[in-house]
A and B are shown apart, each in its own frame.
Chain A
Amino acid sequence: MPARLGLSAAFRSLSIRTNQLPQQQSIAAAAAAVVQARTYITDSTSSSSRTTPPRVQVQQQQQRTQPYSTNPPTESTTNNDAGVEPPVEVTPENAAALAQLSEIAYGVKTANVSLEGHKYGLPTLPLPSELHHKYRYSEVVNHATKLLMKDGKLSKAQRDMAMILNYLRSSPPPKLNPARPLIPGHPPASHLPLNPVEYLTVAIDSVAPLIKLHGFKGLAGGGRSLEVPKPIPARQRRSTAFKWILDVVNKKPSKGSGRTMFAHRVAEEIVAVVEGRSSVWDKRLLVHKQGTANRANLNSPALLMRGQRK
């Protein structure tokens, strides 16, 4: 157990008060007369008058050098090299903060909850996204899990996904095929098994098609549909790629038996994708070829007419 000290909290309460002094002297004092009248009305909904009590400056330096000293005033005067020596008055608030500090130094008392609103320090905001309970898994993993799911059985799909990742973790580093280049910027093959999530991401993103063919019914004449290539967004690309992988997996017979088999077949296919052996690559190539062949259809008069009518 770490010590339950609200040390930072105590410091903050001290430093907030000390930092207000220069503002008050220079800007605040000058602008006070002008601003006060307006702020009185506009800023606060409650009509309580703000009386600012005189604050005391305790040097920052003193905090840094002697945070745990029991008698700070004597120490601070010796360390201070500022030419202007501000008068050291101790307001009740500052005294409370100092007392709190010294108590913390002795480990007597924890942070004051009523003052600070917390006991063990606050987490730094904004929280990383994996600390939101809906986004705790990596985006790709979550997406792929949902695609693995059958009959709404999410927990089974999650177990399968965990087994897939474990298979990838313990499989030997893939031998990359230069004819089937992976997505640019992928980590070297030897690093992939150490990071199975990355492995899966690289595999899916690499075979993901860039386009899909949109068939406009009857526009090509003679009742044929006009195939028009269309770029697809990232999420849809991943969906398509993973569905292709699952299609291949569902046609493969499994080697063994038992509940790990589906997961192992998927994992084997992912390894095959990264190594360039999978038939998913052919599918991708086919779609891209068709898209290239049909790109003239983008300017098809029938399509343009259709657009105008709408």
Chain B
Amino acid sequence: MMASLRHSITNALRSSRQACNKPAQWQSLEQQFGALRIGSRSLSTFSNTEPNPNDDSPIVAAPPVSVDHFKLHPYARAVPVSPSYFTRTPRFYDNYLALEKLMEQYEELPVIPATAVERVAWKTLDDIRQELGEQVKASEFARCMVLVKRLNSIHPDLKPKQVKDVLDGFKRSVQPFTNTAKPIPIDQFGRACGVGRRKASSARAFVVEGTGEVLVNGKTLAEYFGRVHDRESAVWALRATNRIDKYNVWIKVEGGGTTGQAEAITLAIAKGLLAHEPALKPALRRAGCITRDPRKVERKKHGHVKARKMPTWVKR
């Protein structure tokens, strides 16, 4: 919409330039045009979807003017292409105005509750700044996002295409929320294999219905873990749900130290257990068993002895 408006205005201006007789006025007008043309790439708004011949290079000669479309304006005054031309962040404001207009237009449409709205990864403030090349204010961006989210909560069946198109411009190109976890199958022997990681360890637990026997790398729990705390950690998922005597677990674990291995097993068993009994998820969540602990060793930095430690100060 904006793009077409801009086109018509520039066309009109160009045509007026052709027709103009007064050299004095012409001079000043040309200056203005120059300012407009140079600034147009960064200042005027146009949607990226529409291919623009001027897009690739910063300054391109004007296309040949067809005399057929020549029409004389009543007065030749340089009108900015965008209403937000004189603001600090014109392209952002153009987007904002478009959203406001849509909001006015479709305010009446029913919305679905916030919990039912499909999760979307919106562009962040940094993304928008990068994309538009403008120093967008955080507060204004926040207001913009309120509108975006409100528009997004319109019932999906009734959402107009226009709204969808505009909203797509605010979505990140990669949508992590569309990823769905692969369900863990239970094989012909009744085993479910869960994988868990923690620190540098990774564990695979094969959970099968049984009588409470646990083997870690071929050893019993007591042989493998010297510390009772670690043994408890390893079977915590079964313990918290009172299922220790209902399953047998066969575990392969590698990497890292004892604590890391024990807690990797926690996660692995919890996942395997969930494959058998999906309804246990809330309980296991509250037992802290299905949260991957993302903490890892911080990398060493140059100029430091370790991640943060600085070399001792030496005089001279």
Could you list which residues of chain A lie within 8 angstroms of chain B, going by C-beta atoms? 1, 4, 38, 41-45, 47, 113, 116-120, 122-123, 125-127, 131-134, 136, 155, 158
Contacts and interface: CB of A to CB of B under 8 A. Distances in A.
Interface residues of B, number: 35
Contacts of B277: 113, 117-120
B278 interface: yes
B288 A133 contact: yes
B68 interface: no
Interface of B: 110-113, 116, 118, 155-158, 211, 227, 229, 232-233, 236, 239-243, 245-246, 266, 276-280, 282-283, 286-289
Contacts of B113: 42-43
A132 B279 CA distance: 18
A38 B155 CA distance: 11
A81 to B, nearest CB: 37
Contact of A126 (B111, B232, B286): B286
Contacts of B156: 45
B283 A42 contact: no
Given A125-B286, A126-B286, A155-B229, A118 B280 contact: yes
B288 A132 contact: yes
17 contacts: A38-B110, A41-B158, A42-B111, A42-B113, A43-B112, A45-B156, A117-B277, A117-B279, A118-B277, A118-B278, A118-B280, A127-B240, A132-B288, A133-B233, A133-B236, A133-B266, A158-B227
Contacts of B227: 155, 158
Q: Which 10 A-B pairs have the closest CB atoms?
A: A117-B279, A118-B279, A118-B277, A133-B236, A131-B240, A117-B278, A132-B288, A127-B286, A41-B110, A123-B283
Contacts of A43: 112-113, 116
A120 B241 CA distance: 10
Q: Which of A44, A117, A131, A155 has the most CB of B within 10 A?
A: A131
B157 A123 contact: no
A45 B116 contact: yes
Nearest to A158: B229
Given A1-B245, A119-B246, A125-B286, 10 more contacts: A42-B155, A45-B116, A45-B156, A118-B277, A120-B243, A120-B246, A122-B279, A122-B283, A123-B242, A158-B227
A133 B279 contact: no
Contacts of B288: 132-134
Nearest to A133: B236
Nearest to B242: A123
